[in-house]
Structure 1
């Protein structure tokens, strides 16, 4: 094995993404123990990438963006258990895998031609690697948050912000777990959510009354607050949960939730939650069967990462935004 040269998109100081991110070239080292290195086929972007630029989860700089990756394995770290990443099958050079870039341990991440992964699974037959690259962070966030909430069959769950990708995924997961799901969403994905089996109503004025009409005036058992930060919405959600803030969990409105006594998912992450090497192959298999899906808003060559960033930061990308390095290939 040897280090390989790669285009990378990364930041050397924290700030607004458009100000601090730059495209440059660097050497991607041999993968450390417990990791694999891939030639990137696709990188799914997430709101968390922009928060990393702003200082979320601070660490050694420079640091890259693009936590979700699909690619072809070109090197396996020494002493790496070749079956560790899937829980089932050994990985080998040439395999197509998807998983999580080691953004904390490496000076670049998935927005690159080459990336090091610290969690991975085989891309199953029937699943396009581009779609596989949309799964890891969304599935992890939705699954772990519902697990922390204690969702059980028969519960009525309100997913506020089901037009965002975590909410969109959570609706599907909760329905699979036997919950009754009410979802707030705009018109873009309302038909999708209803097709999954959710009861859907719009955002905005009158939302609490519309939700109560769907419950027959009853409170919901649990609320997942899943949109991008939207200050001022949590009091209505707490009221819909019978006035109990502990039945409301947010993934985005952190400060307001803590002030009101509601729960913040990242405050409660703990050992013992379903591990990623179980979640990834399970939901990849479901996606390959058409039983789970995430919409893709638009794909871009790596060289157009600024356009991809602008769409993601717009607040309404209407699906996942994906970078495809092979579309324009490495530059000299």
Structure 2
């Protein structure tokens, strides 16, 4: 099969397209014929060496979220059959991952009727991160949440989930996604100078909780790559009155010095719920562009520009 791999750490230039053996599903896993694979900032972090000391030796693949058709079942798997359409996370601890003609999955859900494989492949990481962040923040129905960076895929998913839970939302975003966020029921204001004052005016004072999903440009695990002066986290602390009421999913280095909360324990136990919400039109992640495996360098360049305008997908 064709798969994207890298056998040394570095920039996306180290990624190559190769012919490699198909992976075999282990106990509790399924194998799918991949129809679409979502690209995320985490892919470039992994290629750059994130988790290098926690994973087997190189070569390794990339692509952490996929959708496709079930092709093989590992021991102990039930509730799914060969030929079913599914989506979810891909394994990435072997020589290949989701950016391949076939991929292994440790968790999955059926793709609802009316949802394409491309739309489904855009969901897993954004939905999981946003759902987990809201749970960890402890925001309650009727409270006021600030989502900073709501134009990102995680940020928009957080707005969608929050509104579905009955939470009031103020969102910061650029002009590209502002109208869409307003349609979801959020009050929207822009980034940049005066952001805290504008949010405070919309809130009539402080907000109850703040979620930071804005990209920093550095690797989230690198203490030597924090955003300048903590990025927007000091403003979010000011707007909530307490660093414990602020959670970031993107600026871990700055959070450590400011007492801001982070969330790192990825869990995919809500995949069926994500599928249900996607089928009902409550959950969706905008797809900006699609690429072939051969176009990985072009996709990486746009992804790393921090201006993708939505999810970038590899389609097969």
TM-score scaled by structure 1? 0.88
After superposing on structure 2, the runs of 4+ consecutive aligned residues of structure 1 that deviate more than 6 Å are none
Q: What's the CA shift for 1:37? A: 0.7
Residue matched to 2:284: 293
Does the CA contact (< 8 Å) of 2:68 and 2:86 recur in 1? yes
Deviations 1:53-87 (A, max 9, x none): 1122221222111111011111101x2231xxxxx
Residue matched to 2:59: 62
1:121-160 counterparts in 2 under 5 A? 121-160=109-148
Does the CA contact (< 8 Å) of 1:183 and 1:198 recur in 2? yes
Deviations 1:241-278 (A, max 9, x none): 11x11111111111111011111112xx38xxxx524x
Structure 2's unaligned 5+ residue stretches are 217-226
1:113-192 counterparts in 2 under 5 A? 113-192=101-180
Tell me the distance in 2 between the aligned counterparts of 1:30 and 1:50.
25
Residue matched to 1:202: 190
Report the secondary structure of 2:106's partner residue.
Answer: strand
Residue 240 of structure 2 corresponds to residue 253 of structure 1? no
Tell me the distance in 1 between the aligned counterparts of 2:207 and 2:82.
49
Residue matched to 2:220: none
Deviations 1:269-302 (A, max 9, x none): 38xxxx524x222222222232221110001122
Report the secondary structure of 2:307's partner residue.
Answer: coil
Deviations 1:230-251 (A, max 9, x none): 4322111111111x11111111
Residue 288 of structure 2 corresponds to residue 276 of structure 1? no
TM-score scaled by structure 2? 0.92
Report the secondary structure of 1:285's partner residue.
Answer: helix
The worse-fitting range, judged by mean Cα deviation, of 27-36 and 199-208 is 27-36
1:316 to 307, 311, 314: 307
Residue matched to 2:222: none
Residue matched to 1:12: 7
Tell me the distance in 1 between the aligned counterparts of 2:24 and 2:252.
38
1:42-121 counterparts in 2 under 5 A? 42-58=36-52, 59-60=55-56, 61-77=58-74, 79-82=75-78, 90-104=79-93, 106-121=94-109
Deviations 1:59-117 (A, max 9, x none): 1222111111011111101x2231xxxxxxx211111111111112x211111111111
Q: What's the CA shift for 1:124? A: 1.4
Tell me the distance in 1 between the aligned counterparts of 2:246 and 2:160.
19
Tell me the distance in 1 between the aligned counterparts of 2:21 and 2:181.
44
Report the secondary structure of 1:189's partner residue.
Answer: helix
Report the secondary structure of 2:131's partner residue.
Answer: helix
Does the CA contact (< 8 Å) of 1:126 and 1:289 recur in 2? no
CA root-mean-square deviation: 1.3
